[in-house]
Amino acid sequence: MKLKGASKIESKSFGTAILYGLIFIFLFAIVSSLIFALILRFTSVREVSLQYVITAVSFIGLFGGGFLSGGKRKQKGWLIGGLTGLIYSLIVFLSQYLGYDRLFDVEQVIYHVCYTLIAMMGGILGVNIATSNSRTA
């Protein structure tokens, strides 16, 4: 027997966890973009030489967002992390499509699939670390 209010609490927690993850991802992206912009502006480093570093930082940000989402939700880490990555990709896709009238190319699709998988892994790890800490405390 399920209570009517239990599903509302579960969905609220689900949405809140995803929101925390997305806020982390976008704040991380803003801060890292500012740092890279300052590096590009005030040094002789070229954008091409930072391409792999920027990709790695993006993966770290998505992993962190999935980790935070999974830690907040404390269950179904693969799902909460995957949804966090998918919603991030949807927001980027909509801003690119509506703002620049461009669809994702094949390279971007591959990146965003990897982003979703990385966020999923972060969600799994976040759930496992959050639940192991609550067991010992």
Higher pLDDT, 67 or 132: 67
Q: pTM score, two decimals? A: 0.85
Exposure b/e, 110-121, CB count within 10 A at least 16 = b = ebbeebbbbbbb
Which of 40, 91, 94 has the alpha carbon at shortest distance from 62? Answer: 91
- Per residue in 13-71, pLDDT (tens digit) is 889 999 999 999 999 999 999 999 999 999 999 999 999 999 999 999 999 999 999 99
| 3-state class (DSSP) for residue 104 | coil
Q: Which of 29-38, 66-75, 84-93, 125-134 has the lowest mean pLDDT?
A: 125-134
pLDDT beyond 70 at 12 = no
